[in-house]
Each structure stands twice: as C-alpha cells, then as structure tokens.
Amino acid sequence: MSELVTYDDEANETEAFSVTVPSQVAEHSWTVSVPGHQTEEVVHEECSLIIPFTTRPHSTSMAVWDVASPVVIGSSFRVKVGVKCSPGCPLTGELVEVRDERGKKIGGGRLGQTPWPETTALYCTEVDLIAPSGEGMNSWSADCNIEGLELPHLSASAGFSFRVVGPPEHRVTVKVITKDTEAPLENADVRLGFYRASTDESGVATLDLTNGTYDLNVVKPGFETLPQTIAVTQDVTVQVDATVAPDPASEDDHLWM
C-alpha cells in the first residue's frame, strides 16, 4: 500500500513503493485499486486497474577457461568452469557436467563455496578430463542445470574446443633475447604451429611436439620479431632476437612535423 501524496493539477501520485514478484514462473494479473472516499464537497467512487505480467526464471551465464591445447592422446587435463546468476544468487554445490560432441558425459564437478576472486557471484569448479584416443580438434560443452535453489533458474552452458595430438617425440627450446642488450625477454608468447608456451625469467620456453615443420612466432607487446620456419626431426634449440617496436605516437608526431 501507498498513499497519494502529490498532485500536479492533473493527477494524484504515490511515492515509489516496492512489491515482491511471485516465485512461480507463470502469467499473473494483479489489481491496483483506490478505495472510494468522500470529502465534505466531493464523493469519489472506487477505481482500479488490472496489471498483467509474466514472471521468468533467473538468467545464468557460464564461462570455461584454462583449456589446454594441444593435449596428448589419452592424457589427463583440467578445465575451470564458472557459472553466474544475473541477480547474484549463491550457486554453491550446483553440478556442472562436461559432455563430448555426442552428448556423452565426460566429467563433472560441484561449484565451490565462494565466488571466484574479484567477482561478486561467479561460482567455479575444476573438472578433470581425459583426452580422446584420436588426434584432431574436439568441441565439448559444459552444462549446469540449477536445481537446488528455491527460485527457478535457467540452465547455463558453454562450449570449448581443444586439439589432441600424438605423443611428443622431440623438444624444441626457444630462447628469446632483446637484440640490442641481449637481455632475456620474459613472458613472451611462443607459438610453434598450434603449440603454445611462454618464456621464463631466463627468456626460455620449451615445447614438446611431434615430427614436422612448424611456423615459429614470438609475440610480446612492445616488441617485434621475425617469423621462422623450423623442421623438427630431433631436439633443437632456437634463438629469437626481439627488437623494441616503434612508438606509434612518435611516428604520428613525426608525420605532422
């Protein structure tokens, strides 16, 4: 209930007031009414207005991250899965299931007690998985049917992909240094075909892979490197020289001079 508190020469209005939406998913019809009343001069009849509305479940979203790729045939790997309710309901203990392309359950886990750090309502779990027995790309999915809460929620799902490769045969060691100072370049992204690694504090990254010819690219913001092609038939060590990338702002200033 609320009282009529303002009048603008045309209509009377109440202050804003809140109501609680029903917890069932359905079509509803509420009635807003003003009882009849009278003053010394005027008699007012009761009036009412029907307000139809539909309730819907809480929406949810899912994210899958830390997906290793490639993974070796038959090896174990782990992914992180997070689920969030749009209004921020706690989702502790809800079951997450991972399924392959045919819908077969591959693994699962329960969402944790507390939200992921620096988030308000992203509840997470880690799911242990086993890579398929054949090489190639795979597209799996994670699902969460939220059933343990009083209020209804939509299910959440997300897909993720990864590549399966044969057992490694050789190790490639990539050493990245800055060309001018010969100092090691840490946290550079080393890409050898679809294999990935990052350099350590010594500027070194190692990748275990099968025989083949691979394109080598090294990426780090603020630096430039030249791509290389490497034939891997044995263990090999490669050095990559990185140069400081030109400052775009400086180039723009030069154009205007």
- pLDDT above 70 covers what percent of the chain? 96
Q: Among candidates 145, 151, 188, which has minimal Cα distance to 58?
A: 151
pLDDT band of 215, cuts 50, 70, 90: very high
Total structural domains within the chain: 3
Asked whether residue 8 carries a pLDDT value surpassing 60, the answer given is yes
pLDDT digits 0-9 by tens, 186-214 = 999 999 999 999 999 999 999 999 999 99
**And the tokens for 6?**
């303002």
Q: What's the average model confidence in pLDDT over 227-252?
A: 87
Query: pTM for the whole thing?
Result: 0.76
Q: Return all residues near 168 (Cβ < 8 A) that are at least 6 apart.
A: 72, 208, 209, 210
Asked whether residue 256 carries a pLDDT value surpassing 60, the answer given is no
In a domain, 208, yes or no: yes
- pLDDT above 90 covers what percent of the chain? 77
In a domain, 28, yes or no: yes
**Domain carrying residue 27:** 4-54
Do 156 and 123 meet the contact criterion of CB atoms below 8 Å apart?
no
Q: Return all residues near 105 (Cβ < 8 A) that are at least 6 apart.
A: 97, 98, 99
**And the tokens for 190?**
């080393």
112 with 136, same domain? yes
Sign of the four-CA dihedral 149, 55, 85, 59? positive
What pLDDT score does 104 carry? 96
What pLDDT score does 254 carry? 55
Asked whether residue 249 carries a pLDDT value surpassing 70, the answer given is no
**And the tokens for 7?**
């009048």
- Final residue of a domain: which of 115, 134, 165? 165
40 with 13, same domain? yes
Instruction: State the pairing for strand pair 236-244/170-178.
Output: parallel
**And the tokens for 106?**
């591959």
90 with 130, same domain? yes
Q: Return all residues near 245 (Cβ < 8 A) that are at least 6 apart.
A: 222, 223, 224
What pLDDT score does 4 carry? 84
In a domain, 251, yes or no: no
For residues 157 and 81, give the distance between their C-alpha atoms in angstroms, rounded to a whole number: 10
What pLDDT score does 1 carry? 85
pLDDT digits 0-9 by tens, 151-171 = 999 999 999 999 999 999 999
91 with 180, same domain? no
For residues 70 and 210, give the distance between their C-alpha atoms in angstroms, rounded to a whole number: 12
Among 32-36, 108-112, 140-144, name the one with the lowest average pLDDT: 32-36
94 with 24, same domain? no
In a domain, 257, yes or no: no
In angstroms, how far is the first alpha carbon of the chain from the final one?
71
pLDDT digits 0-9 by tens, 46-81 = 999 999 999 999 999 999 999 988 999 999 999 999
Identify the H or E element spanning 249: helix 248-256
50 with 142, same domain? no
For residues 99 and 57, give the distance between their C-alpha atoms in angstroms, rounded to a whole number: 24
pLDDT digits 0-9 by tens, 88-110 = 999 999 999 999 999 999 999 99
For residues 203 and 209, give the distance between their C-alpha atoms in angstroms, rounded to a whole number: 20
93 with 182, same domain? no
Residue entry with tokens 């392959």: 100
In a domain, 250, yes or no: no
What pLDDT score does 255 carry? 55
For residues 186 and 202, give the distance between their C-alpha atoms in angstroms, rounded to a whole number: 7
pLDDT band of 23, cuts 50, 70, 90: confident
Identify the H or E element spanning 250: helix 248-256
Do 160 and 141 meet the contact criterion of CB atoms below 8 Å apart?
yes
